[in-house]
A and B are shown apart, each in its own frame.
Chain A
Amino acid sequence: MSAVAAKPQAGGAMNPTAMAVGVVLTLILVGICYAVSPAIGLTTLIAVIIGGVLIGFGTHFVPVGGAPAAMGQAPGIATGVAMLAAGAGLAGLFGGAWAADQGVVIAVVTGGIGGGLMMAITCMMVNFVYVFGMGIPSASGKVAKDPITGDTQAEYKSQGTEGHGLPFISFVGGVIGGILGGAGGTLIYVALLHLYKVALPGMMGITAAQVLTIAVSTAGMFAVGLFLVNAVLTAYNITGTIEGPHDPKFKRWPRAIVASAVASALCGLVAVLIVVLPTMPM
């Protein structure tokens, strides 16, 4: 019990002063972006912030079990928040990147479906392993009845555990989280790709065809970096495990939205500055 008790209990309370500082900081960063690149830079930054917030919000839906889930003592998928969010989001990002030429809407939807599909497959295989491999039924420890199916949970829950397996609501939460994460990651990628395709040829003095690989690679790396930053910040917000949208920890999402907005605005501004600042010779 001591190992469980030693987990940090970062309170669910909001810190209004820090939240206000966060909002002001975001606005300042957007303002700097408006000053250096009013047209395309600003729209890119706003798309990046929206994408980052989608990732941060979506991660809260994913049922993360961590080590207790691997031992069948807590519900969820048996790994960490950052790994799951990165897996779902990057799968969506790769899906959306294929459709980047067909416009923002199709690319973002494709990315969302890619992320959701990845999470659906993961959740299904996890339940196969739990039910047929470990021989445990799916039961939530946080709610008496599944909010969607209405099935009661207590009869199936083993004593001394917080529930186990992957109840239906967690499965649905995982798919929603994957959709939001994949769509957010793709939105960041598409916005940055558009910016680099437009701005890099003039900056480097080369043709649009030559710049394509650099634009794809740079936008992809920025998208991956932003994704990991947002996923880890959300992991810090959740501190450990979450069952899905019915978990009491889910109510902490406003903090993660502000945090993701600040982090995305900061990193997005740096990504915009790369085409604004002149290149110094070696």
Chain B
Amino acid sequence: MSVKVEVIEGGIPHNKIMIAGVICTLLCIYLTYLNVVTKTEMFSFFGGLAVVAALIWGSHTIKVLCSYGIGTGVPSAGMIAFGSGVIAMLLATKFGILAPIVALVLAAIIGFILGYVSNNILNMKIPAMVQALTEMAVVGALSLMGFAALITGGFGFTGLTTKTVSYMGMSVMTHQESFLGGCLIAVAFLLGSIAIQHPFNATLGPGWKQDRMLMLTAECGFLSMIVAAIMSFALISASSAFISLIIAIIGWAYTYSEYMNMSKRDAAAWLDSKPIPDVEGH
């Protein structure tokens, strides 16, 4: 038995966002494969765009799920999304070029079983539960794969665990300076899980508007991408990392100003109050 607190009124239907999210995310992750084709690292920034696309889809899924009062808080949804996603993503990296597809399928299986467990064994009986947990596991897995592609330039297991550095003219393999060995994945994990749960948590309520929430998600996604792009200076060439950083900053600045405009639009009354003036004689 559950009470649905809000209904989606107007806006883009969820299925459309989901399909667009899957296609954009997979496409962007696969575009980072141009790094291998062209033997550069310039296309790593597509990983960050994949993260933004996946997060936009995921935050709308959280909205669908958390519209039913699940009683555990919105952040828990972000945590289970990335908790189940990281497990699928780590195994999927072993499948080479097929990795993003395998991540999608494997995460969907894990999410489906977790959804069954919550709905039937734990007796939640929420209609959207199974689909929402399935989608969120996929979002978590693909976002982490996007972060991996952004930071390392690739999404294969070897690329995530190994880095070749030239030391006095010789190329030496190092495992410490890598996405997994240096545990950059932990930072990516929290960057993503905070970015996915914050937007709905911040905008929920009677004045909820779909476009404002999705713009906030894009803003959070680009903010995470800035941090990840800075981290990528350690693992890919400086010029490639710089491209990612510039794109992230431009994206963030645009989405932030748009979000501020939407917030002012939706505010009941907005007054640009100046700082309290210093009056003489007080």
Residues from chain A with Cβ under 8 Å of B182 in the complex: 213, 217
State A82–B79 Cα separation when bound (angstroms).
8
Asked if B114 is at the interface (CB within 8 A of a chain A CB), the reply is yes
Mark out the residues of chain A between 206 and 248 whose CB falls within 8 Å of any chain B CB in the assembled complex: 206, 210-211, 213-214, 216-218, 220-222, 224-229, 231-233, 235-240
Residues from chain A with Cβ under 8 Å of B1 in the complex: 8-11
Contact of B181 among A214, A226, A236 (CB under 8 A): A214
| A222/B90 in contact, CB under 8 A | yes
Q: How many residue pairs between the two chains, A and B, have CB atoms under 8 Å in the bound complex?
A: 203
Residues from chain B with Cβ under 8 Å of A18 in the complex: 116, 120-121
| B90/A218 in contact, CB under 8 A | yes
Asked if A282 is at the interface (CB within 8 A of a chain B CB), the reply is yes
Given A8-B124, A224-B83, A282-B36, are A233 and B180 neighbors across the interface (CB < 8 Å)? no
| B117/A22 in contact, CB under 8 A | yes
The SS class assigned to the A binding surface is: helix
Mark out the residues of chain B between 230 and 257 whose CB falls within 8 Å of any chain A CB in the assembled complex: none
Given A221-B185, A224-B83, are A280 and B72 neighbors across the interface (CB < 8 Å)? no
Given A15-B123, A270-B106, A279-B94, are A229 and B72 neighbors across the interface (CB < 8 Å)? no
Please name the residue on chain A nearest to B106 by beta carbon.
A270
State A14–B123 Cα separation when bound (angstroms).
8
Please name the residue on chain A nearest to B119 by beta carbon.
A18
The SS class assigned to the B binding surface is: helix
Mark out the residues of chain B between 96 and 135 whose CB falls within 8 Å of any chain A CB in the assembled complex: 96-98, 106, 110, 113-114, 116-118, 120-126
Given A228-B79, A236-B124, are A259 and B117 neighbors across the interface (CB < 8 Å)? yes
State A280–B102 Cα separation when bound (angstroms).
12
Residues from chain A with Cβ under 8 Å of B70 in the complex: 8, 236, 239
Asked if A62 is at the interface (CB within 8 A of a chain B CB), the reply is no
Residues from chain B with Cβ under 8 Å of A228 in the complex: 79-80, 82-83
Please name the residue on chain B nearest to A278 by beta carbon.
B94
Most B-side CB within 10 Å, residue of A13, A19, A236, A278:
A236
Contact of A282 among B97, B114, B189 (CB under 8 A): B97
| A233/B113 in contact, CB under 8 A | no
Contact with A along B68-89 (1 / 0, CB 8 A): 1111110111011011111110
Contact of B5 among A6, A14, A22, A204 (CB under 8 A): A6
Asked if A148 is at the interface (CB within 8 A of a chain B CB), the reply is no
Please name the residue on chain A nearest to B174 by beta carbon.
A210
Please name the residue on chain A nearest to B188 by beta carbon.
A221
| B98/A221 in contact, CB under 8 A | no
- Counting contact residues on chain B (CB < 8 A from A), the size range is 35 or more
| B117/A262 in contact, CB under 8 A | yes
Please name the residue on chain A nearest to B184 by beta carbon.
A217
| A280/B123 in contact, CB under 8 A | no
B198 to chain A, nearest CB (A): 14
Residues from chain B with Cβ under 8 Å of A11 in the complex: 1, 123
State A226–B85 Cα separation when bound (angstroms).
10
| B95/A280 in contact, CB under 8 A | yes
State A211–B97 Cα separation when bound (angstroms).
24
Given A8-B124, A18-B120, are A224 and B186 neighbors across the interface (CB < 8 Å)? yes
24 contacting pairs across A/B (C-beta < 8 A)? A6-B5, A8-B1, A10-B124, A19-B121, A22-B117, A80-B72, A82-B75, A82-B76, A204-B158, A214-B180, A217-B183, A225-B83, A228-B83, A229-B83, A232-B83, A236-B124, A239-B70, A239-B124, A256-B122, A259-B122, A267-B87, A270-B88, A274-B91, A282-B96
Lowest 7 CB-CB distances: which A-B pairs, in order? A228-B83, A280-B96, A240-B71, A18-B120, A82-B76, A80-B73, A232-B80
Report B's interface with A, CB cutoff 8 A: 1-3, 5, 36, 68-73, 75-77, 79-80, 82-88, 90-91, 94-98, 106, 110, 113-114, 116-118, 120-126, 154, 156-159, 161, 173, 175-176, 178, 180-183, 185-186, 189
